[in-house]
């Protein structure tokens, strides 16, 4: 019996000891939790840093170095002669010439013609000179030459940038714009290649020092690239988006009918058609073809303003554009909470809405390309001084903006503009088809106005989008549509 008690005591003692050890272990485990959390956190951070480092070295390093904001690029100029900027059809647009004393001068053979697209490279930088600076100051010349230059303290030849710009189209656009202030943008909708970009007033980049000095003491804005930074009311070109929103909200849009009397009152606002012209009974197609202001103001009073705001956002109003150069964001402010008296003006492209010519061209590019917007770009490839390709820039899709069915419907409606509407006289006899929209955008209380045209050619398989903006056209008599016709003709000739 005594032996049995001893055994029980031993068991209880062992159990008690085990219980204390378990409790002690549990306490220690609780104490170790923060240590483990910190340890795992440090390991996680370390792994994240390693992944970021590898990604930077393998993926991002070149693009960061090539970024136009990277001021260290100019250090390359100590060992490299900056390369040439060349048009898509082989014309040299910018090059560096060295005199007998080794002094380098950046030369622009066509002076003002490519001023804003190509830019300048002293007293700051602009245009392609800024965006492609890294590539121009990087040399992929034959290694033997580079070794020889290093030993003889000579500079290597930088790479050349081959652009998407077409000399003939640029020349046509520049000459067609003449003495008018404004901008022209021409883009291949299926690729995003910018074929022409003109802005006036312009300047001679060969004389950039004196140009900057003169503009500093005057109100001149010749350095402003109006194609990418000029902000204008879209005028009747905005009716394309108003039309699309109406179609979305009204599946029976083909039955739309309105009696235009030349003038009308909408939400207590007086609206009149151009020159108070009476269009009579118009369908939706006729309304777009004749650019009937009263019909569109009538449409606007029935639309969901939040839905229209979203549609504008889909077309990148108030958003960053997928474009590498300097630009300004377009602006659209109308919502269901905005004063309803602003609706009649807003839906016809007036009011507070503002857009750049580049952005307006992109709107048309998305429609021409079946609803998919391709990112606009101006560098096609990089070649070394011997002509070997170093880097190729490929087309890149921003994404689908609208459905292909919607794009087709808008295209058919816009063909009415060129077939019997406001642009029909200008495209009469053309050997190619065009879908587009004219626009007259008032910009002051005197009702002075700018002239717009946006459109694309070869409707069944679009080739080229052209956007033209002429400032103060009501006082100069110039026509954006007339200039667009010359550019399309040059493209096909």
Would residue 281 count as lying in a domain? yes
Would residue 44 count as lying in a domain? no
Six token digits for residue 474: 């009501």
In the three-class reduction of DSSP (H, G, I as helix; E, B as strand; rest coil), residue 234 is classed as coil
What CATH number did the domain enclosing 305 receive?
A: 3.40.710.10
Six token digits for residue 440: 């007259």
443 lies in which domain range? 169-204+213-379+396-492
Per-residue pLDDT at 64: 47
Of 138, 164, 190, the domain-final residue: 164
Question: Are 149 and 192 in a shared domain?
Answer: no
Per-residue pLDDT at 58: 45
Per-residue pLDDT at 59: 46
Per-residue pLDDT at 63: 47
* Average per-residue pLDDT for the chain: 90
Would residue 155 count as lying in a domain? yes
Count of structural domains, the chain: 2
Q: Report the DSSP beta bridge partners of residue 382.
A: 161, 391
Would residue 123 count as lying in a domain? yes
Question: Are 100 and 246 in a shared domain?
Answer: no
For 129-152, write each residue's pLDDT tens digit.
999 999 999 999 887 767 866 677
Would residue 457 count as lying in a domain? yes
Six token digits for residue 39: 């340890």
Per-residue pLDDT at 19: 64
CA distance 53 to 156: 31
Would residue 42 count as lying in a domain? no
Would residue 386 count as lying in a domain? no
Question: Are 425 and 366 in a shared domain?
Answer: yes
Per-residue pLDDT at 400: 98
Query: How many H-runs (helices) and E-runs (strands) does the chain carry?
Result: 19, 19
Of 164, 189, 221, the domain-final residue: 164
Q: Report the DSSP beta bridge partners of residue 465.
A: 187, 456
Of 137, 164, 191, the domain-final residue: 164
Q: Which of 387, 381, 375 is nearest to 135 (CA)?
A: 381
Per-residue pLDDT at 46: 75
Question: Are 174 and 236 in a shared domain?
Answer: yes
Per-residue pLDDT at 61: 44
Which residues contact residue 357 at a Cβ distance below 8 angstroms, ignoring those fewer than 6 apart? 183, 184, 185, 226, 227, 228, 230, 232, 467, 468, 469
Per-residue pLDDT at 12: 57
Would residue 64 count as lying in a domain? no
Question: Are 175 and 152 in a shared domain?
Answer: no
CA distance 62 to 256: 55
State the DSSP string of 302-362. Answer: TS-HHHHHHHHHHTTTTS--S-SS-----B----TTS-GGGHHHHTTT-TT-BB-HHHHHH
Contact 310, 438 (CB under 8 A): no
What CATH number did the domain enclosing 147 receive?
A: 3.90.1310.10
Question: Are 93 and 218 in a shared domain?
Answer: no
Q: Which of 112, 128, 96, 91 is nearest to 208 (CA)?
A: 112
Question: Are 90 and 225 in a shared domain?
Answer: no
State the DSSP string of 83-112. Answer: --EE-TTS-EEEEEEE-TT--EEEE-TTGG
Question: Are 266 and 403 in a shared domain?
Answer: yes
Which residues contact residue 307 at a Cβ distance below 8 angstroms, ignoring those fewer than 6 apart? 245, 248, 249
Give me the residues of the chain with pLDDT under 50, please.
56-64, 66, 68
Question: Are 93 and 227 in a shared domain?
Answer: no
Question: Are 472 and 419 in a shared domain?
Answer: yes
Per-residue pLDDT at 57: 45
Question: Are 427 and 288 in a shared domain?
Answer: yes
Question: Are 124 and 235 in a shared domain?
Answer: no
């Amino acid at each position: 019996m005594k032996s049995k008690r001893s055994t029980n005591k031993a068991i209880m003692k062992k159990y008690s000891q085990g219980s204390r050890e378990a409790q002690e272990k549990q306490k220690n485990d609780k104490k170790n939790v923060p240590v483990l959390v910190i340890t795992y956190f440090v390991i996680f951070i370390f792994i994240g840093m390693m992944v970021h480092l590898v990604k930077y070295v393998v993926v991002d390093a070149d693009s960061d170095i090539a970024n136009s904001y990277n001021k260290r690029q100019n250090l390359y100029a100590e060992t490299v002669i900056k390369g040439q900027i060349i048009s898509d059809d082989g014309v040299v647009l910018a090059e560096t010439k060295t005199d007998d004393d080794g002094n380098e001068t950046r030369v622009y053979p066509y002076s003002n013609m490519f001023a804003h697209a190509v830019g300048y490279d002293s007293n700051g930088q602009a245009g392609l000179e800024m965006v492609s600076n890294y590539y121009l100051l990087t040399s992929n010349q034959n290694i033997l030459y580079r070794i020889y230059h290093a030993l003889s303290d000579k500079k290597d030849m930088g790479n050349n940038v081959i652009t998407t710009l077409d000399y003939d189209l640029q020349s046509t656009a520049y000459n067609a714009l003449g003495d008018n202030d404004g901008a022209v943008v021409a883009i291949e909708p299926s690729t995003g290649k910018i074929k022409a970009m003109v802005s006036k007033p312009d300047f001679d980049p060969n004389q950039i020092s004196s140009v900057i000095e003169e503009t500093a003491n005057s109100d001149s804005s010749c350095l402003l690239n109006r194609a990418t930074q000029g902000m204008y009311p879209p005028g009747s070109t905005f009716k394309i988006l108003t039309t699309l929103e109406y179609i979305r909200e009204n599946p029976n849009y083909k039955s739309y009918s309105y009696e235009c009397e030349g003038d009308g009152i909408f939400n207590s606002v007086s609206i009149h058609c151009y020159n108070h012209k009476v269009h009579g009974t118009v369908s939706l197609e006729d309304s777009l073809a004749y650019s009937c202001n009263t019909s569109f103001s009538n449409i606007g009073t029935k639309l969901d303003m939040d839905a229209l705001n979203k549609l504008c956002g889909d077309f990148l109003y108030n958003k960053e554009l997928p474009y590498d150069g300097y630009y300004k964001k377009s602006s659209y402010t109308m919502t269901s909470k905005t004063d309803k008296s602003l609706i009649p003006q807003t839906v016809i492209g007036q009011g507070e809405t503002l857009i750049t010519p580049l952005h307006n061209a992109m709107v048309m590019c998305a429609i021409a390309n079946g609803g998919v917007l391709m990112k606009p770009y101006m560098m096609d490839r990089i070649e070394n001084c011997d002509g070997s390709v170093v880097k190729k820039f490929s087309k890149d899709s921003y994404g689908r903006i609208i459905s292909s069915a919607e794009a087709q419907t808008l295209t058919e409606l816009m063909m009415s503009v060129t077939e019997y509407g406001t642009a029909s006289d200008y495209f009469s006899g053309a050997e190619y088809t065009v879908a587009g929209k004219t626009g007259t955008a008032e910009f002051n209380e005197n009702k002075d106005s700018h002239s717009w045209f946006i459109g694309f050619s070869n409707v069944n398989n679009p080739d080229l989008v052209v956007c033209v903006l002429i400032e103060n056209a009501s006082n100069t008599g110039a026509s954006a549509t007339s200039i667009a016709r010359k550019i399309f003709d040059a493209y096909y000739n």
